[in-house]
Amino acid sequence: MLPDRFKKFTRRLVWLFIACCFICYFNLEYLTDFFGKESQVIVNRFVINTPGCRVRFLRNPKKPVPFVEPIHVLQCNRPQLIAPRHKDGNNYFVASNVEENLQCKSWLMERQDHRSNKYILEREFNLSRHGNEPIQVDSGHQMFRIQCRNDENDIKYNDVIFFMPPPCEGQKKTPSYEQRPERLSVMILGIDSMSQMHFQRSFPQLTSFLDYVPHTFFLGYSRVGMDAYDNLLPLLSGLRPDELERRCLSVNKSTYDNCGLLWDTFKTAGYSTSYGEDTAQGIFMDGKAGFQKQPTDFYLHPVMLEMDKHTRYSLDANELINCSGGRQFFDVLNYFIDKLSFYMKSAPFFSVFWHSQGVKDYYHYARRLDVDYVKRLKRLLEMDILDNTLVLLMSDYGLRSDKYRLTYNGMREESQPFLLAIYPDWLQAKYVFAMDNLKRNAHNLVTPFDLHATLNDVMDLNLLKDYHVENRTEILLGYPPKKMPRGVSLFLPLPVKRNCDSAGIPSHYCPCNDLTEIPTDDGVVLRTARFLISSINGLIAPYDKCQKLRLYKVMLAYFVDLGESSFVYELRLRVRTIPGDGLFEGTARLTDTFHLTGPITRVNEYRSQSYCVNETSSKMYCYCLN
């Protein structure tokens, strides 16, 4: 009996040992956190692991970042006295919450050009604290500025409202989905300064909602330029800003009207088009040429411009989050999208909506948007708009300033914006090869140039049929590596040997390169730092009011690992300059001389230091003379 008992006891010990191994393996990250050691399982994990690029997994902070101040709940502190209402073909001002008698003026406006509106008609009306009937105004798409004063002549209400009546049968200019069932609409929902990791930290409810819709998260999406303009322009044009400058702006009197942006192409293909941002200093406006003519069928910028000039007030001390009346600028953008949803439901559309206020300046602000975006997508789902729409929920880069940006994770996240595609079920069922490629490409380097090629395919879904995908794949594979197109449709297989150079990603933004910290007092490091400062001074030399910068200290220095087969030597530095206490980062390639591998970026705020310069590309470098 003893041997049998011993055998049973031994078997139990073996099973217990195996169970303990499984428990330890699946809780290794927790155990290593508990004992204060880094988990090798996490450290060695790659989100991209191809012959051309390996991007390491970044761990989110387990606890709240201690040095980042929480943002308090901010609400507009003035009442929303008047709201627009459309009923039976007519537009009305509907007043509420009026606590005293008011004398009001309204100005009917229309867009004049990209920097101004013109007033067409002025009218006066009174509001009573005892109640008010709706005030009828003209019908159709209209924009009004309204100002109300009390008996003491104090301004009590100052706002801009606009009307977007739902489409009438006689007004439809685009073919309906019933007429063209093969049409796929496009909606780009942009959130400024949102990295992949920050999206995961800030949008838990939206992440849960995605379980109910088909979607793909692109882990290798990368920025290709410094700001929103540099990263959105390749999506809309397929070109870098300098290429568009040569091909279009230099011959079109410096406006974007005839540059062949995607909304122009979609409009020619029979789509309705719309574009809106929650700021007047938009992607194509802040120091840019703008549009002489209205670029899309529905365009929010004239409203935001009027608010910015006449009715804006700020919620925060830094004046980065703005209100008009009782609404934040972001609420105005949401209202614009809501009203457009009736048009989206009836006919194919191409739309771009971009949100930047608050989210690009405050680390914790993004968490306040989680529910808003769930509501947005839920409404699109309930209205069946998602049944015929490709939604790109995306960003341009990660946080570029704030204290979190100064951490190692913050520095790496800056070049890894999030990109998420939501699409209807029938797209996967009907275009199997194309959608399989799209899902596989989630684990390769992806850029805005690829999105441009992808959206061009959306205009003609015949290109997504299996035999077309096979033929186009053969053509793509036939290109020599150095002649591979910079932008490749995500419905085709991206080259497995794709690297940052072939994808059009400057080395300074390349997520594939590992960084090894080196001493900041090394001689080569100091020479590189002086080269960076000299490069900055060269950029501000044309501006007499900008002071020449000097190197105060090298804060960090990294050796950029470009792979075993590379004989190129690159250093990435963070330097502090005086005057102005600026923090700048740049990557320099060392050969016989120094060469920048991308723009030098500023990673701390400069606020009013550059008040004497209007050019956006130079403001971050300039410290103005007193």
What pLDDT is stored for residue 613 in this prediction? 86
How far apart (Å, rounded) are the C-alpha atoms in residues 141 and 440?
44
Q: Which of 433-442, 509-518, 567-576, 593-602 has the highest mean pLDDT?
A: 433-442
What pLDDT is stored for residue 46 in this prediction? 85
**Residue 44, pLDDT above cutoff 80:** no
How far apart (Å, rounded) are the C-alpha atoms in residues 298 and 143?
12
**Residue 317, pLDDT above cutoff 80:** no
**Residue 37, pLDDT above cutoff 70:** no
**Residue 150, pLDDT above cutoff 90:** yes
Q: Which fold has domain 169-176+185-509?
A: Alkaline Phosphatase, subunit A (3.40.720)
Question: pLDDT tens across 511-548, in order?
Answer: 998 899 999 999 999 999 999 999 999 999 999 999 99
Architecture of domain 514-619: Roll (3.10)
Using alpha carbons, select from 353, 360, 366 the residue that is nearest to residue 320: 360
Using alpha carbons, select from 9, 5, 199, 164 the residue that is nearest to residue 86: 164
Q: What is the mean pLDDT of the chain?
A: 87
**Residue 574, pLDDT above cutoff 70:** yes
State pTM to two decimals. 0.88
**Residue 600, pLDDT above cutoff 80:** yes
What pLDDT is stored for residue 481 in this prediction? 82
Architecture of domain 82-163: Sandwich (2.60)
- Residues 171-199 as b/e (b if ≥16 CB within 10 A, e otherwise) read eeebeebeeeeebbbbbbbbbbbbbbbbb
Q: By the 8 A CB rule, do 34 and 45 touch?
A: no
Torsion of CA 335, 338, 339, 341, to 10 degrees: 160
Q: Which one is predicted more confidently, 16 or 487? A: 487
Cα–chain-centroid distance for residue 474? 33
**What residue ranges do the domains of the chain occupy?**
2-44, 82-163, 169-176+185-509, 514-619
| Helices assigned H by DSSP within 269-369 | 301-306, 329-346
Q: How confident is the model at residue 122 (pLDDT cuts 50, 70, 90)?
A: very high
Name the token pair of 487.
Answer: 């932008």
**Residue 171, pLDDT above cutoff 90:** no
Q: How confident is the model at residue 40 (pLDDT cuts 50, 70, 90)?
A: very low
Q: Give how far Cα 599 sits from Cα of 69, 507, 587, 590, Å.
A: 29, 10, 8, 16
Mean of pLDDT values over 88-116:
92
Q: By the 8 A CB rule, do 365 and 402 touch?
A: no
Q: How confident is the model at residue 253 (pLDDT cuts 50, 70, 90)?
A: low
What pLDDT is stored for residue 167 in this prediction? 76
Beta pairing partners, 422 = 215, 391
What pLDDT is stored for residue 179 in this prediction? 52
How far apart (Å, rounded) are the C-alpha atoms in residues 26 and 24?
6
Angle CA(549)–CA(551)–CA(557) in degrees, nearest 5?
130
What pLDDT is stored for residue 192 in this prediction? 95
How far apart (Å, rounded) are the C-alpha atoms in residues 521 and 368?
43
Question: pLDDT tens across 270-310, in order?
Answer: 999 999 999 999 999 877 888 999 999 999 999 999 999 99
